[in-house]
Structure 1
Amino acid sequence: MTAPEASAREAFTDVASAREASVPTRFAASRRRVVALVWKDWRELARNRQALAPLVVVPLVFVVLLPTAVILLGANPAITSMVTGMQSFLDHLPAGVMPAGLDEAQTVVYAVVVFFLAPLFLVIPVMVASVTASSSFVGEKERRTIEGLLSTPLSDRELVLGKVLASMVLSVGIAWAAFLVYAVLVNVLAWPILGRVFFPTWTWAVVIGLLVPLVAFLATSLIVAVSGRSTTMQGAQGVAVLVVLPVLALVVGQATGVMLFDAGIALAAAAVLLVVDLAVFPLVARGFDRERIVTRMT
């Protein structure tokens, strides 16, 4: 076993030992091993500045630049009318979804902040997962720590679950933090226009509370599965495109006014995603093969 592989095994063992339960049951032991793997991955990610950069930049674009531009444009309807697709979006808003008594500027700000930008927040966990989950196994190989990891007491299911949770929890945490920043920012910037706190809404509660974790789990599971079969991180990241396509289709649908992303659609999407997640993870766990990973990556 090489020095990096031995170091990876020792790092896992140290973290696992630090979290020993007072009553060692089988479930507790399994949980400790998974948590130890999650902490090991987080520590390695914290030392990788190149990977941390997109985790900060992408959310900043969605929660700072886009809403700021929307609210500033919304304050000037003449400029708003020049934005491609904006008028079509406003014209196709269903009756009854907007508060009564809004003028033109208020309508633009409320509609875009509340409805138009909602699906974009589903892109955040997918983008984070594409950075973190893609290195789950192929990254271990590139760091020469894969054999040390595979020689730990972790079962195949625990290995997959630990890698999925390490990325998913981080993805959801970043999305939730971005949401808090977004909520404060849009209410502060739009106060001179709307004169009240108008955000968040029930639609956003469903999006952030249900859809973001479900999308993050699905994206992470698929990317981790691909990472176990890839020889490069770029190949593992390619599967993120397949996950983000439905989200982009939803964004386009809202921009053209074809479909409004409201609470009902969000709840229906959450129900479908829950079923998909429950079906996908067992398949990913059963498809994990230690020997195949070693032979394909050596």
Structure 2
Amino acid sequence: MPSQAERAVIKKDFREIWDSRMARGTVLAVPLVLVVALPIVFLVMINTVPPSGMNGVDQMMRLLPAQARGLTPRQGMMYLMTDLLFPAFFLMIPLMASSVAAASSFVGEKERGTLPTLLLTPMSVKRIFHAKTLGCVLLSAIVTAISFVVFAVIVSVGDILLGLPFFLNWSWLALILFLTPAVTVFGVVFMVMVSARSKSYVESVQTSGYLVLP
């Protein structure tokens, strides 16, 4: 459990991230686009556009695994969306959230000129680093958890409309329980390494874009 001083550092970092328009906008915009806007657009398209009007439906249906070959074109499109397309999109959320949080926490501290003041506190450098890292991971976990709940609600509505079973399967469980924490830690570690060379928060965030582009 973090000490009272470490909790104070975490709260300070949370407040500074929220007060930063760029950091707040990124943390909010990425999940809104990836797990709200895009699923709704796909869901509306699947339910309104006839399969004959969708280009490449036959080719996409061939991508279905053997256990899903009996699905209708609409059901197959929904299956492909939830099991093949959106898991990759979803992983961008913890990656971006942890990167933005780490950039604000480490590089932002240096850019704001508050790092010397923080180092003068009774906390050791190790405890400061521990508190900041824990705060980044915690923020990413909160954003990811909320995003998954919203995504699950939207997709569940689509599953009900199309007569599909609940989308959560072993692949999604592995993604949530194992891949998401790993991606979060990787994002924080990467930004900590970048922070030593970055001169500004904007520069560090731009560098973090290389994590998402591949």
TM over 0.5: yes
Aligned to 1:269: none
Aligned to 2:198: 230
CA contact (8 A) 1:71 1:189 kept: yes
Give me the TM-score of the superposition, normalised by structure 2: 0.86
Residues 180-206 of structure 1 deviation map (CA, whole Å, 9 limit, x = unaligned)? 111111111342222x54222221111
- Name the CA distance, whole Å, in 2 between partners of 1:228 and 1:162: 18
Residue 35 of structure 1 aligns with an amino acid whose one-letter code is R
For these two proteins, the number of residue pairs brought into alignment is: 212
Residues 7-66 of structure 1 deviation map (CA, whole Å, 9 limit, x = unaligned)? xxxxxxxxxxxxxxxxxxxxx7x7443333212211222333442122111101111121
* 1:78 aligned residue (52, 60, 65): 52
Residue 155 of structure 1 aligns with an amino acid whose one-letter code is S
Identity of aligned residues (%): 33
Name the structure, 1 or 2, with higher relative contact order (CA <8 Å, separation 6+): 2
Residues 201-223 of structure 1 deviation map (CA, whole Å, 9 limit, x = unaligned)? 22111112221121011101210
Residues 117-169 of structure 1 deviation map (CA, whole Å, 9 limit, x = unaligned)? 11111101122233221122331233221110111233332222222221221
CA contact (8 A) 1:163 1:224 kept: no
Aligned to 2:211: 243
Give me the TM-score of the superposition, normalised by structure 1: 0.64
- Name the CA distance, whole Å, in 2 between partners of 1:106 and 1:119: 20
- Name the CA distance, whole Å, in 2 between partners of 1:101 and 1:178: 31
CA contact (8 A) 2:14 2:135 kept: yes
1:198 partner SS: coil
Aligned to 1:289: none
Q: Does 1:138 align with 2:107?
A: yes
- Name the CA distance, whole Å, in 1 between partners of 2:212 and 2:145: 18
CA contact (8 A) 1:34 1:162 kept: yes
* 2:64 aligned residue (93, 98, 103): 93
Structure 1 residues 31 and 80: alpha-carbon distance in aligned structure 2, compared to 1, 3 A threshold: farther
* 1:60 aligned residue (5, 16, 32): 32
Relative to structure 2, which stretch is displaced further, 116-125 or 159-168? 159-168
Aligned pairs (5 A) from 1:1-298: 31-75=3-47, 76-81=50-55, 88-96=59-67, 98=68, 101-194=70-163, 196-245=164-213, 248=214
Structure 1 residues 31 and 57: alpha-carbon distance in aligned structure 2, compared to 1, 3 A threshold: same
- Name the CA distance, whole Å, in 1 between partners of 2:90 and 2:34: 7
Residue 121 of structure 1 aligns with an amino acid whose one-letter code is F
Structure with greater helix share of residues: 2
- Name the CA distance, whole Å, in 2 between partners of 1:90 and 1:197: 18
CA contact (8 A) 1:74 1:80 kept: no
CA contact (8 A) 1:55 1:128 kept: yes
1:231 partner SS: coil
Give the structure with higher Rg (CA).
Answer: 1
